[in-house]
Structure 1
Amino acid sequence: MPHWNYSTVSEFILFGFSAFPRQMLPALFLLYLLMYLFTLLGNLLIMAAVWSERRLHTPMYLFLCALSISEILFTVVITPRMLADLLSTHQSITFTACANQLFFSFTFGYTHSFLLMVMGYDRYVAICHPLHYHVLMNLQGCARLVAWSWAGGSLIGMTVTLIIFHLTFCDSNVIHHFLCHVFSLLKLACGERTALVTIVVILVCVTPLIGCLVLIVLSYVFIVAAILRIPSTEGRQKTFSTCVSHLTVVIVHYGFASIIYLKSRGPHSLYTDTLMSTTYTVFTPFLSPIIFSLRNKELKNAINRSFHRNFRQQSS
């Protein structure tokens, strides 16, 4: 990360869960720790199953592996800081560490959104243009789509981080959050440009999310139209079943994201703000491998075979 000219504030204090009753924190710590470990394990199992099963070496599962990687990295960046905040109050964090956290959380989070959009395009091509699927979704094309998703996420992460850390921070350095959240940082900024910068940051944050969502919705409009043209009920159900897991994850992802970006800017209690933030940072990565594993029969069978194969090898 580049070096910035910082203002008089030399570090931030993460208030996080400090306002919560002390007797409540051990239960929250255990809950989030178990969800963190399950998220890592679930995504690693998905990657191992796709790697070991030749029949899963298809574009859809390649994108799913890329999605699992982005979720693992996002979780590794966010959750340990949250767990540390549960163990002790008023965690201090330097400007550089805060900037790095903001950059990586935005990079992995928006890469996740771009990959969901690419997976929607994959389903669109597979259902609406099946004869051209292997031409349009060849290995090189899929690799480029994944690379562009990561590049787009990195660009947004770098843009937001540069904008935020070129602001002046003065007076209070207490962030009422368990991480360096963009809107919490904007509240600490001072100067004449703060209002304008806030609008720019909101546009940079929301526009890619809305753009990805619009393209996903358009993909499913064409998908549904193509499915309705299938004469048999069984054929329609079988075709739509290939989209259910992706569509469910999209609904969860954008449902929780809307809680963060579209909530009212009126006064909220510290409990409410913190708990609403955990829905996106903890529950979304936690639910994603569950949804893909349970709603995708082919992947679920592959995970079971991979698990039993490794178990037999260890037993022997």
Structure 2
Amino acid sequence: MDLFNSALGRNITFIRPAYFIISGFIGIPYMKYYYVFLCFVYIASVLGNTVVMVLIYLDHNLRTPKYVAVFNLAFVDLLGNTVQVPKVLDIFLFNHFNISYNDCLTFLFFCYTCLSMQALNLVALSYDRVVAIMFPLHYQTKVTHRFMFSLIAFFWLFAIIALLVAVGLLTRLSFCDSVVINSYFCDHGQIYRLACNNNFPNSVIGFLLPFLILWLPLFVILSSYICIGYALVKVVTVNERMKAFKTCTAHLSLVAIYFIPILITFTMSARIHPNARIINLSLTSVFPPMLNPIIYVLQTHEIKSPQRKQIMVLPLSVLYLIKSNIS
């Protein structure tokens, strides 16, 4: 079977490859240990995010607008790691480096959509904190279920449309030379740079996507905390100030573990080895979904106090069932 499937016609130069080759982890030493680590990360992510989603669904006290966003974040984290980690393990652990053209674009779409929604969901949670601290008397009217559902639905629609545009622009590209993607997944930038026809629209969307789904959300979040800091300065007593700030610690932790590794990787990309950069990028995408539920369980009073027994029982029950099936 030929590597390329070209369009019919004598003078047609458009070439669509039958498959791409994912080569990101090939040649990096001791990668089998990293694959074991990815398995642990994925299992912990599935258990943790499932716990958070089940608790919010079962406990009526947690069905507040804030926890609508928390539930969506847990769902996105679960979906993101489920889309990414098993496929990465299948590619590199079982040497299935070839991925079909359509599967690659589908893989790209879901990976980027989940990564986008993680950042946009943090914006929704930052809005909740801004209103809670700056306008506490109007919180019930400004942060309603309808508003939070509408905001999250808008973010989903925005992310899906943006990624559909990016994927649609990739389908107009012709690949007449290399089909090797030097990444651990179907990376948008790696794909369009392989094209042998005009890829200027793809480079534009490649510039706009990080701005819209990473840097703009980060700017909005930082601006919200500048407003929160300004409001806390006006609080008279230190105890009230600290009490108000503690309500933001969980969200700040989520923001830190999501954006700081990305910022470090992008700002130091020229100074680090390409292999190290690929591993760092993979960690920035799979690690936050594992840590997010742990942070909310340990730092959020509404989840931590009344549901402690349920939180402990569910993961243990799942592990017991897995052990029973294996034995």
Normalised by the size of structure 2, how large is the TM-score?
0.86
Partner of residue 59, structure 1: 65
Aligned length: 307
**Which of residues 220, 238, 245 in structure 2 aligns to 1:233?**
238
Task: After TM superposition, list the pairs within 5 Å mapping 1:41-120 onto structure 2.
Answer: 41-89=47-95, 91-120=97-126
Q: Are positions 1:156 and 2:162 aligned together?
A: yes
Report deviation, 1:253.
1.3
Report deviation, 1:184.
1.5
Q: Aligned with 2:305: secondary structure?
A: helix
The share of aligned pairs that are identical, in percent, is 26
Report deviation, 1:179.
1.0
**Which of residues 285, 289, 294 in structure 2 aligns to 1:290?**
294
Partner of residue 283, structure 2: 279
- Residues of 1 paired with 2:201 and 2:154: CA distance? 29
| 8 Å contact from structure 2 (residues 51, 314) kept in 1 | no
**Which of residues 220, 224, 233 in structure 2 aligns to 1:215?**
220
| 8 Å contact from structure 2 (residues 22, 97) kept in 1 | yes
Partner of residue 38, structure 1: 44
- Residues of 2 paired with 1:189 and 1:223: CA distance? 46
- What are the Cα deviations for residues 145-201 of structure 1, in whole angstroms up to 9, with x where unaligned? 11111111112211211122322222111111221011221231222x225532431
Q: Aligned with 2:236: secondary structure?
A: coil
Report deviation, 1:68.
0.6
For 2:128, the aligned partner's letter is: D
- Residues of 1 paired with 2:121 and 2:203: CA distance? 27
Report deviation, 1:206.
2.0
Partner of residue 254, structure 2: 249
Partner of residue 306, structure 1: 310
Greater mean deviation of Cα atoms: 286-295 or 299-308: 299-308
Report deviation, 1:242.
0.7
Q: Are positions 1:127 and 2:139 aligned together?
A: no
Q: Aligned with 2:172: secondary structure?
A: coil
Greater mean deviation of Cα atoms: 72-81 or 47-56: 47-56
- Residues of 1 paired with 2:28 and 2:279: CA distance? 11
Greater mean deviation of Cα atoms: 252-261 or 143-152: 252-261
After superposition, the Cα gap between the structure-2 partners of 1:92 and 1:309, relative to the gap in structure 1 and judged at 3 Å, is closer
Report deviation, 1:67.
0.6
Partner of residue 208, structure 2: 203
After superposition, the Cα gap between the structure-2 partners of 1:309 and 1:277, relative to the gap in structure 1 and judged at 3 Å, is closer
Report deviation, 1:295.
2.1
Q: Aligned with 2:193: secondary structure?
A: helix
Specify every segment of 5 or more residues in structure 2 that has no aligned partner in the other structure, as ranges.
Answer: 1-6, 8-13, 321-327
| 8 Å contact from structure 1 (residues 99, 161) kept in 2 | yes
Partner of residue 15, structure 1: 23
| 8 Å contact from structure 1 (residues 36, 79) kept in 2 | yes
Normalised by the size of structure 1, how large is the TM-score?
0.89
- Residues of 2 paired with 1:312 and 1:45: CA distance? 11
- What are the Cα deviations for residues 75-117 of structure 1, in whole angstroms up to 9, with x where unaligned? 1111111111331335111111011111111111111111110
| 8 Å contact from structure 1 (residues 164, 186) kept in 2 | yes
- Residues of 2 paired with 1:171 and 1:125: CA distance? 54
Q: Are positions 1:183 and 2:211 aligned together?
A: no
Task: After TM superposition, list the pairs within 5 Å mapping 1:138-149 onto structure 2.
Answer: 138-149=144-155
Specify every segment of 5 or more residues in structure 1 that has no aligned partner in the other structure, as ranges.
Answer: none
- What are the Cα deviations for residues 119-153 of structure 1, in whole angstroms up to 9, with x where unaligned? 10111111111111111111111111111111111
| 8 Å contact from structure 1 (residues 122, 137) kept in 2 | yes
Report deviation, 1:258.
2.7
Q: Aligned with 1:12: secondary structure?
A: strand
After superposition, the Cα gap between the structure-2 partners of 1:134 and 1:196, relative to the gap in structure 1 and judged at 3 Å, is same
| 8 Å contact from structure 1 (residues 101, 180) kept in 2 | yes
- Residues of 2 paired with 1:313 and 1:268: CA distance? 43
Report deviation, 1:62.
1.4
